[in-house]
Every structure is written in C-alpha cells, then in structure tokens.
Amino acid sequence: MIVTAGQRQALQQAACQSRQNAYAPYSGFCVGAAVLGGSGAIYPGVNIENAAYGPTICAERVAIFSAITAGESQILAVAVCTENGATPCGSCRQVMREFARDLPVFICDTAGNSHETSLAALLPDSFGPEDLKESRQ
Ligand code: THU
C-alpha cells in the first residue's frame, strides 16, 4: 500500500501538532504520534505519564489503540514527533507488528526534519500473529 506525499504530510502534521498535548510532567520528553488507518482516517496520540511511572503509555500505542477502537483493522503508516527525532521504543514496534507485517514509519523532530524508515527495518525477524496460528488449530 503506497502512502501518498499528501498523506505523509498530514500524518506528520498530526503527530507534531498532537505532541503539544503530551502529558509528560516526569520525563519532560513530549511525544506525538499519528496513525493512518486503512479507511484513510488519521488517529493522533500522545505519551501519557503517571505518578506511579509504570502505567505510563507511549504516544504510538495511544494512536494505534485509538485507531483500533474506532474500528480500523489495518494500520497503513505511523508518524512520530519528538524534539530530537527519536525512534519508537521496542514495545511500540511490537504493537505495530500486531496490525501490520511492515509499514512506513515517519520520524520527525520539532525543527521540521523528517525521514522515512519502516517497521521491518525497526523490528527485523519479528514475531507476529501468524506465528501463533498453528498452535490454535
Ligand atoms: N515515549 C513515547 O511516547 N514513545 C516512544 O517510543 C519512546 C518513549 C515516551 C514514554 C515516556 O513518557 C517518555 O517518552 C520518556 O520515555
């Protein structure tokens, strides 16, 4: 599935705009993310921290869970925006893998730079839903 230049721009804009709503009083590291669902709709997410630390959730997972909650069964692309252009954490990579074998991941920073990578590059030789199919039969 090809993501158009317009979709990429809209996705990155949603990630960078939503970053302003990040709730990160403990780390101070604000993250915004956005997911392009199979329907073409865009779902934003931010990191939401917690005084007990453990319940903190990353921006990427909030965006993905929001897309799934809205009824999307496919995620086509993810954008993430941080101050320094950081890439998604391992847990978020694995959650992406649940809903796509591979997808484009657009990494943005607050200076307006962006580059494209992919889930397959970020999570090589991955484990996914297909690996459990035989055991369920
Ligand atoms: N964080 C994300 O939102 N996404 C990532 O992929 C990496 C980390 C958040 C979690 C925490 O609120 C803060 O960044 C510092 O780890």
pLDDT in single tens digits along all 137 residues of the chain:
789 999 999 999 999 999 999 999 999 999 999 999 999 999 999 999 999 999 999 999 999 999 999 999 999 999 999 999 999 999 999 999 999 999 999 999 999 999 999 999 999 999 999 999 877 66
Residue 81 maps to which CATH number?
A: 3.40.140.10
Q: What per-residue confidence (pLDDT) applies to 135? A: 78
Atom 9 of ligand 1, nearest CA residue:
58
Q: Is 81 in the pocket of ligand 1 (CB under 6 A)?
A: no
pTM of the model: 0.96
Q: How far is the CA of 74 from the centre of ligand 1 (A)?
A: 23
Q: What per-residue confidence (pLDDT) applies to 104? A: 98
Nearest CA to 86 out of 111, 119, 110, 109 is that of: 109
| Residue in 60, 83, 98, 134 annotated catalytic | 60
Active site residue 60: yes
Domain that holds residue 57: 5-136
Q: What per-residue confidence (pLDDT) applies to 27? A: 98
Report residue 49 as tokens.
């921290």
CA dihedral of 51, 106, 92, 33, whole degrees rounded to 10: 40
Q: What per-residue confidence (pLDDT) applies to 1? A: 74
Q: What per-residue confidence (pLDDT) applies to 26? A: 98
Q: What per-residue confidence (pLDDT) applies to 136? A: 67
Report residue 64 as tokens.
């993905």
The residue to mutate among 89, 96, 105, 119, having the most atoms of ligand 1 within 8 angstroms of its beta carbon, is 89
Apex CA 99: angle with CA 95 and CA 101, to 5°? 100
Q: Is 88 in the pocket of ligand 1 (CB under 6 A)?
A: yes
**Which residue type is seen at 74?**
Q
Q: How many domains does the chain have?
A: 1
Instruction: Tokens 């956005």: give the residue.
Output: 34
